[in-house]
Amino acid sequence: MLRDADQFQSHRFAMLKNNCRPSMVWFGWLLITGLVPVAMCGNSIAANKPSAFSGEERGYWAFQPVRRIPPPAVPSRSLVRNPIDRFLLKRLQTDGLEFSREADKYALLRRAKYDLLGLPPTSEEIEQFLSDDSVDAYEKLIDRLLASPHYGETWGRIWLDLVRFAETAGFNADPDRPLAYKYRRYVIHAFNNDLPYDQFIREQLAGDELYPDDPNAWIATGFNRMWPDESNASNVELARQDALNDLTSNVGNVFLGLSIGCAQCHDHKFDPILQKDFYQLQAYFSGIVPFDRVPVAGQSEYVRFQRRQADWLNRTAAVRHELHDIEHAARKAASAIKRLKFPDIVLDAIDTPEEERTAFQHQLAFWSERQIVVTPADLAKKLSSKQQKRLAELKEEYHQLRKSEPQPPRQLQAMAVAEVPTGPVPVSLLAGGSYNKPVELLEPAVLSVIDTSLVTPPTISATRSGTSGRRSALAAWLTDPRHPLTARVMVNRIWQGHFGKGLVENANDFGNQTRPPSHPELLDWLAIQFVERGWSVKAMHRLIMTSHAYRQQTYRPTSAQPEHPAMAADAGNQRYWHYPRRRLSAEAIRDSMLSVSGALNAQMHAAAQREGVRPELPPNYSAREKWTVDDEADERNRRSVYIYAKRNLPYPMLHVFDLPDMHESCARRAETTVAPQALMVLNSELIIRYAESFAARLTAIQPGNVPSELNHSNLRPRIEAAYLLAFGRPADTVEIDDAIEFIKAQQALISSQSNPPSKAASQQALVDFCHALFNANEFIYLD
């Protein structure tokens, strides 16, 4: 295994050395310094590129049709629960290996519950599952779990990682995006409702074009606005281009599982992705204009509305224009200094009345107008008394006219995108990725390497008036059941969610920098099942979780045992001969402490219709960032997925356990083990408070308080309850004795050190015990 890895690395490194350096750097430098005329570099870049891909490139596994392969026959039937097991066993048996036996019911329940809901099992659930002797007890458990609304909170979070969800824009000011929470809510509901994945794609990419009468579809288009955004960007055209690039890369990572972003400045160094492909893909999105308020209306209704609106605009043109001219001149004068920083092209966009702007002007205005806000008082200073008088008249007149302004049937506030009637902005290939070095105009097109006879390329036609239909066409192409990537990429993500790693290890990169799939036939079989089962994500959970592979126990050796023979063949468990032990996610760790201590507020969503929940920060954590802690404990103790996703201040307790950065798509979280985690769980007053709640909960399991004298009989039931809550299993007698010994020792220590001796010593000793459980490996690792 290791040797393979080495070879893989050295091959890759050789490619890198040969390909990646001098020419590109050198060339980029010439471009930057302006030593090469742009026209010429267009030619040389173009001349550089193969007109067609090599057979090897076109034949790369990920671009081939998904194969329909029957599950193989395997001799041993005892450990086969569904076809997944056949694929895995076939490979295992080739090496003389077998599955491990099934995990015990405690481990299975804990594993399944965390996997689907991100929470520890409750005592009632343990009782229910353990006492259910029916043959399908486990299947019923999976169905119960999949029906829980907490499912969307856990699996929706995986999607939020992919789209780099945040409730702030990032950069220096990191301003709020007060409507972003609606997108999070949309994603959670989409998973809970098992929204077919193809529909999920269509809504996010083109909800505005395809379903303008559905508020959720509008909210879904927030996907196109997740890029970080500098509120005071000096170079507006660059900021616009950065946002489009970020979106294009993200579409590549999320839906295609390809690192298309690498082709922004040059042809992809390893995969058959041309620089041209990057900008052609970008062209599907070049017309998007960010809107925070959108009309919700069916197509015919919307057309009628648009017609009436056009009439009204026509009728009111004289008043509007005069109003605009006076006000605008004054605004210009009042913002003269601020306007200096922008070039004419940006100022022209700002100076064009909003209704008349092109998409490009809308985009430029989006990044610039907010930087030259003029207060009414400043505006008034720039108006003569005559103008002020006329302005007042016009405003009154306009006010009257607005009474007849056609209103769309419904307005929605959402972080959305839509196109404007002037159509998308032309897109060019950019030399070296520089926004101001256009080389060649491009039309929208999908990756050239994907065989057009396999998936019909998108045909663009307007789905409704006022929009180009480009994104709808892209969505249709992606959701074509014959698409070689879409289903494979998503089933691989689902597999990764259950086994800690995908069949393709890098879920965001199916290119050749990632090892080929460990089980290609299984990957294809799953992809076909996914499409045939109506792109149902829940059906895939059910399928995977009811396999024996998933139900196996983890590897549980002791030092006395000889090493399992499978260790020699497959120490890395590439072949799934046991279930991999896994660490809980950051959210699951915090939510578990809250849940076990009885403090969790399991209500969905934040109480207020606003940005996320703000729990306690460590003392003096950051003087720079605003973070007003919520007053109500109940509000602070909501599930972690609802915590304010602030790019410049990721919530410390989650951040320390590898919450992603919120700037780049995260396909699989890092799992680091660092001392600051230990310090956080050991010493944070907040976590000690959770332990106090946990101890209080234990105290309350028997009537009356914990007696001041702790003894075997009154501690035992409490310790048993604690183990069940924290570890999802009963404690054995050695563990109980150990715990009693510890609690008594702590009690003695605490009373000896307090003067006068504290009556609360026994309770504090119990807190120490609870706190120790939070710190134990068993608390944050799943068997």
Partner 1 sequence: MNNHSRTQSSMLHYEQASCRRDFLARTGFGFGALALQQLLADDGLISSQTLLASETSASKTRRSPHFEGTAKSVIFCFMDGGPSHIDTFDPKPAVNKYAGKPLPESVERVITPMGVSDNPLLISPRKWKRYGESGIPVSDWYPYVGECIDDICVIRSCWADGLNHVGSVCQMNTGSILAGRPSLGAWVSYGLGSENHNLPSFVVLLDNEKEPPGGSRVWGTGFMPATYQGTRFRNGNEPILHLHPPKEITEERHRGKLEFVSRLNRQHLRTRFGDDDLEARISAYELAYRMQSHAPEAVDLSQETEQTQQLYGLDNEKTAAFGRNCLLARRLVERGVRFIQLYSGSGSKWDAHSKIEENHTTYCRSTDKPIAGLLKDLKRRGLLDQTLVIWGGEFGRTAMSEKGDGRDHNPYGFSMWMAGGGVKGGQIVGATDDFGLHAIEQRAHVHDLHATILELTGLDHTELIYQHQGRPERPTVNEGEVIPDVFA
Give every CB contact of residue 659 below 8 A, 6+ residues apart in sequence. Answer: 586, 587, 650, 651, 669
Dist CA 161 CA 164 (whole Å): 5
161 is a site residue for partner 1 (CB under 8 A): no
State how far the alpha carbon of 695 is from the alpha carbons of 121, 389, 686, 728, 763, in Å.
Answer: 18, 72, 14, 17, 7
Give, in degrees to the nearest 5, the angle at Cα 28 between 272 and 257.
30
Pairing of strands 289-295, 411-418: antiparallel
Instruction: Verify binding: residue 253, partner 1, rule CB under 8 A.
Output: yes
Q: Minimum CB separation from partner 1 for residue 585, in Å?
A: 14
Contact between 260 and 62 under an 8 Å Cβ cutoff? The reply is: no
Residue 623, SS3?
coil
Give the shortest CB-670-to-partner 1 separation in angstroms: 4
Instruction: Give the shortest CB-290-to-partner 1 separation in angstroms.
Output: 19
Shortest reach from residue 577's CB to partner 1, in Å:
11
Instruction: State the nearest-atom distance from the C-beta of 511 to partner 1, in Å.
Output: 5
Phi, psi (degrees; rounded to nearest 5) at 413: -90, 120
Among 148, 232, 422, 699, binds partner 1 (CB under 8 A): 232
213/735 with CB nearer partner 1: 735
CA 253, CA 222: separation in Å to the nearest integer? Answer: 17
Tell me which amino acid residue 416 is.
A
Question: Does 629 engage in binding with partner 1 (CB under 8 A)?
Answer: no
* Binding test (CB under 8 A) with partner 1, winner from 228, 295, 497, 520: 228
Mask for 733-762, x = binds partner 1 (CB under 8 A):
--x--x---x--xx--xx--x---------
Binding range to partner 1, per CB under 8 A, among 170-178, 187-195, 274-282, 534-542: 170-178
Asked whether position 373 contacts partner 1 by CB under 8 A, the answer is no
Q: Which of the ranges 11-19, 277-285, 353-361, 591-599 carries the binding residues for partner 1, by CB under 8 A?
A: 11-19
Hey, what are 142's tokens? 């999976």
Q: How many Å apart are CA 274 and CA 258, to the nearest integer?
A: 12
Spatial separation of the C-alpha atoms in residues 228 and 66, rounded to whole Å: 35
Q: Which residue of 36, 88, 262, 420 would you call a contact of partner 1, by CB under 8 A?
A: 262
Q: Which of 775, 736, 724, 731 is nearest to 109 (CA)?
A: 724
Q: Check residue 213 and give left, alpha or beta (phi > 0: left; psi -120 to 50: alpha).
A: alpha
Q: Does 720 engage in binding with partner 1 (CB under 8 A)?
A: no
Among 78, 314, 459, 673, binds partner 1 (CB under 8 A): 673
Backbone angles phi and psi of 463, in degrees to 5: -80, -25
Question: Which residue, 606 or 731, has its beta carbon nearer to partner 1?
Answer: 731
Q: For residues 427 and 283, what is the distance between their CA atoms, to the nearest angstrom?
A: 6
Among 622, 702, 708, 711, binds partner 1 (CB under 8 A): 622
Can you tell me which of 11, 370, 395, 624 binds partner 1, judged by CB under 8 A? 624
Cβ proximity to partner 1: between 61 and 398 the closer is 61
- List the one residue from 98, 625, 632, 634 that touches partner 1 (CB under 8 A): 625
**Containing H/E element for 417?**
strand 411-418
Bridge partners for 613 per DSSP: 643
| CB-CB contact of 604 with 149 (8 Å) | yes
Residue 647 touches partner 1, criterion: CB under 8 A: yes
Length of the chain measured in residues: 783
Report the residue from 42, 121, 152, 170 that binds partner 1 according to the rule CB under 8 A: 170
Contacts (CB under 8 A) with partner 1, residues 267-286: 270-271
Q: How many CA atoms lie within 13 A of 635 on its CB side?
A: 16
Q: Angle at CA 413, nearest 5°, toward 412 and 414?
A: 110
Q: Which of 37, 534, 618, 717 binds partner 1 (CB under 8 A)?
A: 618
Q: Is 37 in the site for partner 1 (CB under 8 A)?
A: no
Q: Is 335 in the site for partner 1 (CB under 8 A)?
A: no
Q: How far apart are CA 353 and CA 108, in angstroms?
A: 62
Stretch binding partner 1 (CB under 8 A), from 148-156, 184-192, 531-539, 769-777: 769-777
In this chain, which of 39, 47, 340, 568 binds partner 1, going by CB under 8 A?
Answer: 340
Contacts of residue 159, Cβ cutoff 8 Å, sequence gap at least 6: 187, 191
Cβ neighbors of 520 (< 8 A, separation 6 or more) are 61, 503
Tokens of 411: 């307005």
| Given 354, 671, 711, 759, the residue binding partner 1 (CB under 8 A) | 671
Stretches 207-215, 305-313, 373-381, 678-686: which one binds partner 1 (CB under 8 A)? 678-686
CB of 749 to partner 1, least distance (A): 6
Question: Is residue 35 a contact point for partner 1 (CB under 8 A)?
Answer: no
Residue 358 in the binding site for partner 1 (CB under 8 A):
no
- C-alpha closest to that of 469 among 456, 477, 460: 460
Write out the H or E segment, with its range, that includes residue 548: helix 548-551
Q: Which is nearer to partner 1, 59 or 676 (CB)?
A: 676
Binding segment for partner 1 (CB under 8 A), chosen from 116-124, 207-215, 337-345, 438-446, is 337-345
Alpha-carbon distance of 416 to 518, in angstroms, equals 39
Whichever of 146 and 696 has its CB closer to partner 1, that residue is 696
Minimal distance, residue 162 CB to partner 1, in Å? 12
Q: Rounded to whole angstroms, what are the CA distances from 301 to 208, 213, 305, 413, 616?
A: 14, 9, 6, 19, 48
- Nearest approach in angstroms of CB 215 to partner 1 is 32
Tell whether residue 781 is a contact of partner 1 (CB under 8 A). Answer: yes
Nearer to partner 1, 618 or 707 (CB): 618
Nearer to partner 1, 208 or 570 (CB): 570
Q: CA-based angle 540:544:545, to the nearest 5? A: 115
**Among 138-146, 194-202, 401-409, 677-685, the segment contacting partner 1 (CB under 8 A):** 677-685
Residue with Cβ nearer partner 1 (475 or 596): 596
From the list 501, 507, 503, the residue with the least C-alpha distance to 518 is: 503
Interface segment toward partner 1; rule CB under 8 A; list 149-157, 184-192, 527-535, 671-679: 671-679
DSSP 209-266: HH-TT-HHHHHHGGGGG-S---TT-S-HHHHHHHHHHHHHHHHIIIII---GGGGSSS
Q: Which stretch binds partner 1 (CB under 8 A): 82-90, 215-223, 532-540, 775-783?
A: 775-783
Number of residues that bind partner 1 (CB under 8 A): 113
Residue 147 near partner 1 by CB under 8 A: no
C-beta of 281 vs 460, nearer to partner 1: 281
**Binding residues among 550-609 for partner 1 as defined by CB under 8 A:** 554-559, 561, 567, 571-574, 580-581, 583
Q: Does 508 bind partner 1 (CB under 8 A)?
A: yes
The residue range among 227-235, 443-451, 533-541, 628-636 that interacts with partner 1, by the rule CB under 8 A, is 227-235
Q: Mapping DSSP to helix (H, G, I), strand (E, B) and coil, where does residue 583 land?
A: strand
Piece in contact with partner 1 (CB under 8 A), picked from 109-117, 344-352, 378-386, 645-653: 645-653
Q: Which residue has the tokens 């076109």?
A: 58
* Given 674, 701, 707, 759, the residue binding partner 1 (CB under 8 A): 674
**Tokens representing residue 346 in the block:** 């940006």
517 binds partner 1 (CB under 8 A): no
Minimum distance, C-beta of residue 587 to partner 1, in the bound complex (Å): 16
- 179: Cα separation from own chain's centroid: 17
- Residues of 184-197 as b/e, b for ≥16 C-beta within 10 angstroms? bbbbbbbbbebbbb
Strand, coil or helix: what is 163?
coil
Q: Residue 102: helix, strand or coil by DSSP? A: strand
Site for partner 1 in 683-702 (CB under 8 A): 683-685, 688
* The only residue of 286, 479, 506, 552 in contact with partner 1, by rule CB under 8 A: 506
